Amino acid sequence: MRPTQAIINLTNLKANYLSIRKKTKTKVLAVVKADAYGHGVFEIVAALNSLTRKPEYFGVAIAEEGIQLRKLKIKQPILLFESPSKHNINAILQNKLTPSLFSLSDLKFLESSVKIFTKKNGLKSDVKVKVHIKINTGMGRVGIHYSEAVPLIKKVVDSKYLHLDGIYSHFATSDEKDKRYANLQLKRFNGILEILQKENIPPGIIHMANSGAILSMRDAYFDMVRPGISLYGYTPSLEVTKTIPLKPVLELVSEVSTCTWFDKGESVSYGRLYSLKKRAQIVSVPVGYADGINRNLSNKMSAIINGKVYPQVGRVTMDRIMFNVGSDNIKVGDKVILLGSQKNNKIDAWDWSKKLNTIPYEITCNISKRVPRVYK
């Protein structure tokens, strides 16, 4: 196994999950899309399901991710964050995934597909497919517009082929300090719930809170919450207060592979972006942009070696990066912590995110498959 590894701390994962449960006191839909945000979906799901209080639901972005979970013999409902289409309908029906409905056309397509599937497979005509209706209260991406949601909900409730298992919406700004727009979305969603209650229409499981809302919007908890990045140890933004303890689950490590003395004025790596101001030892580490070290981190990132922080120097290359360790006693084989902590020093995905103008989601998702995941 190569020395560059992503160490996945399942103890931290479980602690994050249990902290979320303790705070919200609701059902939990664990979001495990994108290979569990780069952490390895099989192991993440197995760890969560080893707990006494397992997630009630799992959430995925595409049908292929749902199929992966069913191959793991996952029995919980799997909510698919996309609507049924000709591309995923067979996977949805064959693997008993729960699709999201965004429109009346989605409903009609799914009803027609269920009718054909039921007849083709000799199933009872009263077998219904569970669905969740996604309501666009202001995210502005997908979902039935909140002003049109109630008629669609009624049609699903009356459907011969579908069962309304839940309704949900998604916040656009719950991770921001200013909650005015998020509160407007919540007000719109509550308006729909009030209509359903007056007309005695059962909405199924109600859910809206993503990681940002879990941390800062108690009124948005409803029946279930949907932690994503918070499961993996990060707040969704730096504007959200960490109201529960969160520990990063992923640590990225490697080791020193070469140590070479460079004289003053000599340059390091492609483009000669870095030249030494005085004689020093340059070490190389076998990890690069093919592993998820963004090329734009060149001359901007650091690593911890033997408890001390050293600057990365020169352009990040596909397979290798370099660090200036001065005249310190660093040798081949010494551990290099790219994301993680040692002694009093810590580097996490936010440190990279600030330099790249991005968020930890992108950092962990971009740790490539050629980096072996090691679970502990």
Given the DSSP bridges, would you call strands 129-136 and 100-101 parallel, antiparallel or unpaired? parallel
Give CA–CA dist 81/86, Å, rounded.
16
Residues contacting residue 37 through CB under 8 Å, at least 6 positions apart: 228, 229, 231, 232, 361, 364, 365
Give the residues across from 162 on adjacent strands.
129
Report phi then psi at 239, rounded to 5.
-85, -15
Q: Which pair of tokens denotes residue 171?
A: 């916040």
Q: Taking the CA of residue 36 as centre, how many other CA atoms within 13 Å lie in the half-sphere pointing to its CB?
A: 24
Give CA–CA dist 196/154, Å, rounded.
9
Active site residue 270: yes
Report phi then psi at 208, rounded to 5.
-150, -25
Given the DSSP bridges, would you call strands 129-136 and 57-60 parallel, antiparallel or unpaired? unpaired
Q: Which of left, alpha, beta for 74 (phi over 0: left; psi -120 to 50: alpha)?
A: beta
Active site residue 161: no
Question: Whose structure tokens read 């930890």?
Answer: 360
AA letter at 133: I
Count CB-CB contacts under 10 A for residue 364: 26
Give CA–CA dist 249/341, Å, rounded.
12
Contact between residue 9 and residue 33 where contact means Cβ atoms under 8 Å apart: no
Contact between residue 321 and residue 285 where contact means Cβ atoms under 8 Å apart: yes
Catalytic residue, chosen from 75, 187, 270, 354, is 270
Give CA–CA dist 220/104, Å, rounded.
26
Query: CA 106, 111, 112, 116 torsion: positive or negative?
Result: positive
Give CA–CA dist 323/305, Å, rounded.
10
Catalytic residue, chosen from 33, 161, 232, 289, is 33
Active site residues: 33, 270
